[in-house]
Amino acid sequence: MPPDRLYNRLGQLHAEFLTALEFRRNSGFNPDELDRWVYGVRTESTADLVHDDDVTGIVELEAEIVWSPDEDEPEPPSGEPPFSLSLTLTGVFAWLGNPDDDDAKLWLEVNGEHLLWPYLRAHIASITAASDLPALTIFTLGVPRPAGAEQTAAEQAE
């Protein structure tokens, strides 16, 4: 499939919702050691098509916050990380036109996680803000671009 078909506007995010959530504040966490921990985000996504009157794309994005001691700190933390958090978001995509099933599925696999990422960031920030810890706002995610795509002048200057 030509790259321009992967990155065009075939699908539009119609709805996003939280389908699973587990948050647990670790009682063995010492708040004075918050800076000794670094987080990462482990994700896995699945994409499917549903055929009713129209083709609907469904992407499930499972995410988990994973913690590790900050290697730049002179002393490792003595207790547990601040919390454990895992959640699943579901995105429902509507299609412009009637795309080929293979094209639509590939489009969802390439673009689904990136389009759901801002919602993941918002949910994680809201959930953690409701605890007695500072809100965690996870990093942004770059938009995928086709191989060989032209760079803008600003990107070339970097």
Given a contact cutoff of 8 angstroms between Cβ atoms, the answer to whether 95 and 39 are in contact is no
Cα 80 from Cα 78, distance rounded (Å)? 7
| DSSP 8-state class, residue 128 | H
For residue 3, pLDDT over 50 is answered with no
Half-sphere exposure of 83 (CA within 13 A, CB side): 19
Least confident among 29-33, 34-38, 102-106, 115-119: 102-106
* pLDDT number for residue 55: 78
* pLDDT number for residue 95: 81
Tell me which CATH homologous superfamily contains domain 3-139. Answer: SecB-like (3.10.420.10)
Domain boundaries, the chain: 3-139
Average pLDDT of the segment spanning 84-109:
89
pTM equals: 0.84
Cα 130 from Cα 23, distance rounded (Å)? 11
